[in-house]
Structure 1
């Protein structure tokens, strides 16, 4: 029965092995016979398939053009959201619809077009080749010849319309994403140096605008907060931009469980802390607060900040703590800001160090 000690298939007896003598009894059947496609034997079918691919590439081009028309041609004038129902306006809905439709058509057309081209027009013969290292000049020349053959068999030379529409679709398809990436953040970093927070500005709830008293913030609670003077701005005055920079999270912790540096001892009120809601990684809004661990989590890339240690980064790609907003109490018992943030809010870029030094120079 063999040696069972190591339990391997060769010795366990559970698998019947062969000494190789019977290998020649089962010759390699080889590849199955090639079955030509309709487009291989019918020129009309091949021409029809070519027109289909060209049409798909044209759809991709038109989708990319539609994106640019919606992105640059439709201007959302006035408020972007209905104040009463907090719903997008008709202009914003139309722009979003056309932007999404343009991207979908742009990527769908070029993707399906390439697949249809490969399925119906490119050679589909199955080949078996031994893998080898390309070292000698002869082998390099052979490899070059193979690539040239592939280029010729793809039909690009023989089908200029198909080639040109593919080039047009391939050039235009990535451009919508360039526009979207440009909108991820400001190109001028100076706009992140300051927000509309200033000394005496009340902290109010978002979106109701209700001022917050110390007694409203219980242990373990969290509030989404904006400055009271934000309501004085109209949409043409940069309301959304200022709100995106100034929004903060307000939480109350047991003061005995919080480590506070000497220069920040008067930045909180009886364990009530205010920190920027904008993640220092790429600027996603932080909205997840774990009460038991006192951690703030960014839902985009899982950056985690420790509230008990001045929101230092304990996990994730963020490279610096969340900026803290110094707060105090006014004569009526409402929470107010002592000043603006002492450092830029938002993502940390390579130029951010220069902005911090500039701010420190202005403060001195």
Structure 2
């Protein structure tokens, strides 16, 4: 691309903590990355210029497990209520979501704007599909993303939060969602929710085979039960010849519950079949073992889960905070491991949303986050505020996004 085509120049930044560089952008793509010039070339005079002031530059953050449809972010404070546990939280959410206007495009847009304000430019979000909502939640989230004019790239998981088989008609709704463009279909605790792991998984994999969509299955079930269900998932991936990267296990607490030998066998098989994992780095719990996942070739992504919703008042949408939580809780301290966590939160997490490269390289979508930090490790451990965000080649007005969480 010629210099006179350049629409934005991000000057004097340090990609991944490297030497000072200028990043040229044409439209929504990185055109080139060059050593910072003493004086910009005359041909760049017509381009918008963002002065990076020597800041650290990273690719946009990637949220691989979100629930953008059901936050009360932007509403008055909602007191925690209802019963605990998965079943209790589902019932409480069903009882109150209508009065809070959940889901709706304005609610989802507020959540996406907060993701963007903290540097997240790509999101995989689970969106509830059930007999009460049908597909309205997906429509609302898509409308919210459109209102941001492409700043946040979104991929949707049609998610059966209230179960698949125990509510006749949900499986058909999931199939319809996939037929109408949902990139993935979700599942939830096949034994504890539906009490029929074989039936739930067979139904979901049938949709995947018929529609060519991915599967992203919440699996909170612990120990041997959870490990057994992962094995059922792997059996079906192998049987159906599903392509690598099309099936994800979210949470997967059983992986850290089982003994090391069984965990190694599970991870080796997952890696061989291209089954991925996502985590929200839950506090007070053992974290998924990054070194073991990497050794087995199991790709891992970080997600915020729900933020300020009827399940919990916690969460602020900051994916870097989740990465910090994972690293701190998992005892990650060495430079190479800290950097690896940042890579998963940015460059390598993008495969959960897109097939294209996501990095500060020519041809990639121009998603940059600038931070006043020495290097990626420093940015992570200090949870450095975002100094500037570029999303799809456009400089984000962070002040305009900085609304109070109840407004």
Taking structure 2 as the reference length, the TM-score comes to 0.21
The higher-RCO structure (CA 8 Å, 6+ apart) is 2
Larger Cα-atom Rg:
1
* Higher helix residue share: 1
* Higher strand residue share: 2
Taking structure 1 as the reference length, the TM-score comes to 0.23
